[in-house]
A = this chain, B = another copy of it.
Amino acid sequence: MDTSQLLKGVLDLAVLAVLDRGDGYGYEVVRGLRAAGLNEVGDASVYGTLRRLYNAGLLTSYVVPSDEGPHRKYYSMNAPGKARLRETSEQWLAFAKTMESLVKVA
């Protein structure tokens, strides 16, 4: 039911991971996450996360007008963003390993 709490603190990482494959705009990132298996991500969460990462200086941004719909606000990883991605993913992998060992005893 409520997978939502699992995303806490991990959505940042997920978004960074998606953007690491190349620049992307909000709606695209949302689709990327859902395609990856995170089916229940709310779009508002992703837009919020992108803004937060941007405000934290981990992303740069530029707007591209589109003639097939509204404008697109692209986000792009910069050096601090890549550094953060590395740190966070290591942190997460370690955490996941710990949790797995805890759970798998059962």
Contact = CB atoms under 8 A, between A and B. Distances in A.
Interface of A: 2-10, 13-14, 17-18, 20-21, 36-38, 85, 89, 91-96, 98-103, 105-106
Tallying the copies of this chain within the complex gives: 2
A94 to B, nearest CB: 8
A7 B7 CA distance: 10
A91 B96 CA distance: 13
Q: Is the interface of A mostly helix, strand, loop or mixed?
A: helix
Contacts of A105: 17, 20-21
A17 B89 contact: no
B91 A106 contact: no
A21 to B, nearest CB: 7
A93 B89 contact: no
